[in-house]
Amino acid sequence: MSLSPKMGAAYTPDSTKFSVFSEHAQKIELCLFSADEKTEKRIPLHKNEDNIWSAEVSDIRPGQKYGYRAYGEYNPEKGLFFNPHKLAVDPYCLDVSGEIKDWENDYLCVDNSLDSALYVPKSVVVEENDIRDDIKYPYLHHKPQIPWGKNSIFETHVRNFTIRNFNLPPAERGKLIAFAHPFMLEYFIDLGVNNIELMPITPTCPGRHLQRAKGQTDNWGYNPYCHFAVNPRYGTHEDLKAVINALHSRGIKLTLDVVFNHTGEYETQGYYNRALSYKLLDSPNYYLSNGDDKSNYANYTGCGNNFNLNAKGGQKILHDFLNYANALGVDGLRFDLGGDNALNQYGQFQDNGGFMQEIRYAREVLDMDIMVEPWSALGGNYSGRFAGQVKDVKEWSDRRHKLDAEFFSSHGGLQGEVATQIAGSALIDASGKSSAVIGTGRTHDGFSLVGAFEHYKDTRPNGEEGRDGSPDEYRKSSDRDELYRRAVSNAAFDILSKGIPFMRAGDERGYSSPNNNPYCIDDETVWTDWKELTPENKTLFLNIKRLNAFRQKHPIFNSIELYTGQIVQENGCKDITWLRPDKQEMTEQDWHTPYAKTLAYMLNGKSPQAGAKDDDFLIMVSGEDYYTVEYNLPEPPSGGKWNLIFDSSEHGFIKEEKVFEQGKSYCLKPFSYVIFSHRKTKEDRQKQNSELLALHQHKGAQR
């Protein structure tokens, strides 16, 4: 299963065909470099009617270093930046020779005659013409069939998460291949996550504001200059295949965080008018202009430019990348600043623009998981536009991870908004029935689970005088017990609310830092600590692990079908009922009580969301900082007694479940999350087992 049409360097033992797209170039040369890069051989490419320049060259071996030099008009007023003195990285190369040595030198500036080849990473020819290798990677294309609702997403950074993991061989720490190690596979399974989302792994440029004297680097990787290759800091595309194969062998998905809204080539003028690839090959086909002003890039991202997914070149890059990622076995993609991806040169959202066409293709043709941040860096929020246009596309929530921290910081007046997040966001998919929300808890972009309640924001190490980073400010905990009670409550809220649970790496181990935006930091302050867990962190880990398992076990929590508030005919109770402390159903007036900081709700195990086969549940959450609130317990929808199974004020899951008769009360302590269940009767369980047995026999007869 190879790329079609194959761009970049298509290697065979007999010859290698080099292909690159450019509509406006007048001449393009292939530049072949010796292993030590001291000699360069230039070969002219020939253009066809589709604006693809190519040449077939014999005697090429895997590992051959190369690049392109494009000739044409240099006229910034027209948005043209051709300069053959600058070497361009092949946009389709699968490996590059190294990282950028020095981003600040003048050789990378577009508007001079200095030869940039010494400072530009070289594209590398790889042997593989066909992605599929069933002998070496038998699980690569055996993608785990996990329904959306049963996904548990774990966002992680390749280096930060593994560099201090002493359970791994030294050579694998900080590298992509670490995720194929048996220790890591068992760790994910034990934790209960089944979808690993890697922060960007593509080659990246240093950020514009980084201060080399302070040792800063583009650690997060959100400034790509090549979308197909793996950052050599982490390994090669062969390592990526090994990781996907290993994860699939254990039933775990891999999602890649990808950046198609901008690149690291920045502006068209001044000091940051630098280039590595797209700008040199055909700027108008890869970058949005600022309205009708061709001399400047649109900059909705705040990073200097917007990649042009509405032009032939830009849309082709995305289309071919989708085919490549799918052929590679990648399960899903998360699009950074998806709102920016969908804008035209005038900042207007395009419902059927290049980006929307391609994610529709990814969902409907390739059947890939697609997730987007539905907003723009400069303020536009297009929540609902993606999920409403493309079936089963999921959108990140930019509110939940802030809302829950606010709630567990004793902010009043949040009952309605918290309830919306618990029961299912107003964002729905095209069918109008299920949640389209990736229920983001903590992410890389903001405080960690513990840090939100332990630190005040301090991003001064980034060198931007504290102007950067999410403005997260929450009430800090007065003692360690309260700190961890709030963290466990927050984790339970994130995992068990309607939507697809999402957590950031390190939260399960109690990672905490005052810097909530360490995009340019690469030291022990951002690395996950793999030393023996403290008692508090062990409690946190075990609760998150058990909450993940609890969610997987119960369909009422892993279903993303929205609640309707309708009566369930089987027992005459609503699918979800919101309760006051006196166990009466909340009225419209109750929702507008400004000082109320607690919520309670009952879930009906006979509801469609539960598959009519689950237990009943009563859940209480408190954002109170001082007062204990006494709740009278209602009758379970199916009758019977309540069993207390979880209370974050009692360190989480209860070792010996406590039974409460209906009509009794329970004291909900400050900053806590409580779960009661009413288990199915013996007759219910026997009926369910009989139905499952009949279904199994039916499927067996079909086979």
pLDDT digits (tens, 9 = 90+) for 341-362: 999 999 999 999 999 999 999 9
Instruction: Say which residue, 399 or 564, is predicted with more confidence.
Output: 564
CA 76 and chain centroid, separation: 36
pLDDT at residue 63 is higher than 70? yes
Supply the pLDDT for residue 691: 52
Asked whether residue 604 carries a pLDDT value surpassing 80, the answer given is yes
Q: Given phi > 0 = left and psi -120 to 50 = alpha, else beta, which region is 304?
A: left
Q: Give dist(CA 27, CA 348) in Å, integer.
A: 34
Between CA 299 and CA 261 the distance in angstroms is 10
Residue range 635-651: mean pLDDT, rounded: 94
Distance CA 75, CA 577 (A): 65
Residues of the chain with CATH 3.20.20.80: 148-529
pLDDT value at residue 425: 64
User: SS3 of 600, please?
Assistant: strand
- Say what percent of the chain tops pLDDT 70: 93
Tens of pLDDT along 482-498? 999 999 999 999 999 99
Fold of 148-529: TIM Barrel (3.20.20)
Query: Residue 73, SS3?
Result: coil
Q: Which residue has the tokens 């085919």?
A: 323
DSSP state of 381: B
How does DSSP assign 583-646, residue by residue?
SPBPPTTGGG-TT--EEEEEE-TTSGGGTT-S-EEEEEEE--SS--EEEEPPPPTT-S-EEEEE
> Confidence band (pLDDT; 50, 70, 90) for 212?
low
Q: Say if domain 563-689 classifies as CATH 1.20.1050.40.
A: no
Residue 4 has pLDDT above 50, yes or no: no
Contact 525, 513 (CB under 8 A): yes
Do 239 and 171 meet the contact criterion of CB atoms below 8 Å apart? no
pLDDT at 478: 82
| Predicted pLDDT of residue 266 | 87
Domain with CATH 2.60.40.10 in the chain: 8-124
DSSP character for 476? P
Residue-wise pLDDT tens digits, 576-601: 999 999 999 999 999 988 889 999 99
Assess whether pLDDT exceeds 50 at residue 370: yes
CA-closest candidate to residue 394, choices 366, 430, 353: 430
Summarised one tens digit per residue, pLDDT across range 383-421 is: 888 988 888 899 988 777 788 889 999 988 899 989 988
Which range (122-131, 368-377, 386-395) has the least confidence? 122-131
Q: Are the C-beta atoms of residues 629 and 580 closer than 8 Å to each other?
A: no
The upper half-sphere exposure of residue 148, i.e. CA atoms within 13 Å in the direction of its Cβ, equals 23
Confidence of residue 3 (pLDDT cuts 50, 70, 90): very low
- The CATH T-level fold of domain 8-124 is Immunoglobulin-like (2.60.40)
23-37, 175-189, 392-406, 407-421: segment of lowest average pLDDT: 392-406
The reported pLDDT for the residue numbered 53 is 97
Tokens 């504001």 correspond to 209
Contact predicate 669/605, CB 8 Å: no
User: 430 falls in which pLDDT band (50, 70, 90)?
Assistant: low
Rounded CA separation 179/235 (Å): 12
- pLDDT of 334 reads 97
Q: How confident is the model at residue 101 (pLDDT cuts 50, 70, 90)?
A: confident
**Among 299, 265, 472, CA closest to 376:** 299
**Least confident span in 144-158, 168-182, 263-277:** 263-277
Position with higher pLDDT, 130 vs 270:
270
- Other C-beta atoms closer than 10 Å to the C-beta of 670 total 21
Within its chain, how far is the Cα of 110 from the centroid? 33
Q: What is the pLDDT of residue 132?
A: 64
- Which has more pLDDT, 127 or 632? 632
The pLDDT assigned to 702 comes to: 46
DSSP codes of every residue in 142-172:
------GGG--EEEE-HHHHHTT-TTS-GGG
User: Is 58's pLDDT higher than 70?
Assistant: yes
Confidence of residue 130 (pLDDT cuts 50, 70, 90): low
34 Cβ contact list (under 8 Å, min separation 6): 40, 65
Sequence-distant (≥ 6) Cβ neighbours of residue 184 within 8 angstroms: 162, 165, 168, 178
Across the chain, mean pLDDT equals 90
Q: Check residues 113 and 470 and name the one with the higher pLDDT.
A: 113
The pLDDT tens digits for 156-166 are 999 999 999 99
Beta partners for residue 561, in sequence order: 434
Cis peptide before 5 (omega within 30 of 0): yes
CA distance 344 to 309: 9
* Beta carbons of 668 and 583 less than 8 angstroms apart: no
Question: What's the Rg (C-alpha) of the chain?
Answer: 27
Low-confidence winner among 10-14, 196-200, 321-325, 377-381 (lowest mean pLDDT): 377-381
Question: Can you read off the two tokens belonging to residue 449?
Answer: 């689970």
What type of residue is 73? E
With a pLDDT cut of 90, the percent of the chain lying above it is: 72
Q: What's the whole-model pTM score? A: 0.93
Distance between CA atoms of 9 and 5, rounded to whole angstroms? 12
- Other C-beta atoms closer than 10 Å to the C-beta of 356 total 21
